[in-house]
Amino acid sequence: MEGKQTEETSEEKLAIISIFVRLSVVCWAGFIISLNYITFPFLGPQAPKDTSFITFLFGSALATFGIEAKKNGNANGTTPVNCPMLNKKKEE
């Protein structure tokens, strides 16, 4: 009986650690992405940095929490029925 309880508590601890690690990745990546848009006057002019990899990490970490970006204008990824651009292409 005791072995089962320690196994459950260790799994719970591992789940909590996993959540904190993913949350810290989200916060860190969001901070780094935000820094790209903030100008500091004491540092002088700065060129924008390429944040592709950090943006990928940010999106991937958010996806582990079930948060995903909208695709094609709606949440389920299908094209809207009354899309003016699609109607224009059909007319041509």
3-state secondary structure at position 74: strand
What's the token pair of residue 71?
């695709």
- Those residues with Cβ within 8 angstroms of residue 11's Cβ, 6 or more apart along the chain or in another chain: none
3-state secondary structure at position 80: coil
Q: Give me the pLDDT at residue 39, please.
A: 84
Q: For 4-9, what is the mean pLDDT?
A: 73
Q: How many Cα atoms occupy the beta-carbon half-sphere of 14 within 13 Å? A: 6
Q: Give me the pLDDT at residue 43, please.
A: 81
Q: Give me the pLDDT at residue 36, please.
A: 87
Give this prediction's pTM. 0.63
Q: What is the pLDDT of residues 55-78, one digit of tens each?
A: 999 999 999 988 877 665 555 556
Q: Give me the pLDDT at residue 37, please.
A: 85
Q: What is the mean pLDDT of the chain?
A: 79
Length of the chain: 92
